Structure 1
């Protein structure tokens, strides 16, 4: 091999550097959302914000400068933006202006005010009428795509040869349960998929449930704890959110 051919050989990985580009444009960002199939999701969220703003205009729901200031101070404290320099650096990192940030806070406040206006007075009656729907359960999950794998995992767990956490970290294909050792949190039973609701009815805490087939695959569940219905502040907030989302969905159906 000649010296010239050595000089023109394929560069090594260490010699290759990412190509330099200018700042990404809004068009490039939109194209990314399209080819990663996220455009519909982001569009739906943008439409929700637009509906909130328009409905608040109709109902004369507004945000005062004082409310914006309080919410902005709370945001800065939460994100440890304790001075103007830190706040400006954060805005630059997020590639947004101070006006963009303020509008985001305003929409959050408008959304909460609209929720309260529409449904805050209905929570108690709704809860009493639908009390059975507000049983909650803390549960863990392992999700796999193959029934044979699911049955083997259940057999291993019931034999005590491995912990649920170990098996979830190794096998679960669901992002949340795969990263958290199987634990997926506390959920209202009424919000779970019908197949799962039916399978966990009457199950005792700690019991490993046979694989449940859904469109996502085979779910192996363990109920960690049952919670009796109670109208705590956290449950009240969740009900308010559920009622609001249901209202938004109903508006979508009527406009379709």
Structure 2
């Protein structure tokens, strides 16, 4: 059995690599990276893109001179060609995303928009239903405000912000909370609502509708890519070490 890696006194053979990756839960990530490399293989970068990416990388690493760069490469056992492949990988991946999903983003945006919209809302968390009702009646009657009540009664982090949360994407909130805010009108006070172990008193303050700009397109392409990648990995998911080895050798 050939030794491919030695860590102090431990020698790791080629046959042991895949079981070790599985034991440390690193095999799925390895499969993801191999799948990505296969997907972006047809895509290249222009000399200008390569130069810009390399310069940005060396600036980030604070390598100002050629001697410093060569010493850095030597210390990590890497070549300039390997660095070039590394620093242009993100660019090639973005080209793959654009080419693969450029015609799907608009339709996907229409599906995702309700949960991409951001909201600002006031909330008070409490585990006591009686206190929740009392807070609600005070707010409803205008006797006190969220600004006054949240720091005193709320157990959530909003207590430090006078009860204000956001702006935050609806899709990042608890599903029940998101649904309540989606059907609310700005300024509408909602009665205490049980969510998990909490009672929430809510008031929607503002809705910030998302626009299909370049930043949103990038986010949606990334979501589509992530969904695709996880599906690819799931199809290769090994059920035992022997199968893991077979999958690994196949991808190689």
For this structure pair, what is the TM-score category when the shorter chain's length is used for normalisation?
0.5 to 0.7
Q: What is the RMSD computed on CA atoms of the aligned residues?
A: 4.9
- SS of the residue corresponding to residue 84 of structure 1 reads coil
* Residue of structure 2 in register with 1:197 after alignment: 178
Aligned to 2:90: 108
Tell me how far apart the structure 2 counterparts of residues 75 and 221 of structure 1 sit (CA, whole Å): 47
Partner residue in 1 for 2:14: none
TM-score by length of 1: 0.53
**Cα distance in 2 between the residues matched to 1:75 and 1:170:** 46
Query: Aligned partners of 2:223, 2:180: CA distance in 1, in Å?
Result: 23
Q: Post-superposition shift, 1:162? A: 4.6
Q: 1:134 to 1:172 in 2, by over 3 A?
A: closer
Residue correspondence of structure 1 range 131-210 to structure 2 within 5 A: 133=114, 136-140=117-121, 142=123, 144=125, 146-148=127-129, 151=132, 159-163=143-147, 167=151, 171-173=155-157, 182-187=164-169, 189=170, 192-210=173-191
Matched, 1:127 2:91: no
Counterpart for residue 84 of structure 1:
64
Alignment match, 1:13: none
Distance 1:124 1:213, change over 3 A: same
Q: What is the total number of aligned residue pairs between the two structures?
A: 202
* Alignment partner of 1:60 is 2:44: no
Structure 2 CA distance for aligned equivalents of residues 143 and 108 of structure 1: 42
The DSSP-based 3-state class of the residue aligned with 1:237 is: helix
Secondary structure at 1:171 match in 2: coil
Q: Does the CA-based 8 Å contact 1:141-1:183 persist in structure 2?
A: yes
Which protein, 1 or 2, shows the higher relative CO under an 8 Å CA cutoff with sep ≥ 6? 2
Give SS of 1:121's match: coil
Q: Which stretches in structure 1 are left out of the alignment for 5+ residues?
A: 1-24, 26-39
| Residue of structure 1 equivalent to 2:18 | none
Q: Which has the higher strand share?
A: 2
Residue 137 of structure 1 contacts residue 223 of structure 1 at CA under 8 Å; is this kept in 2?
A: no
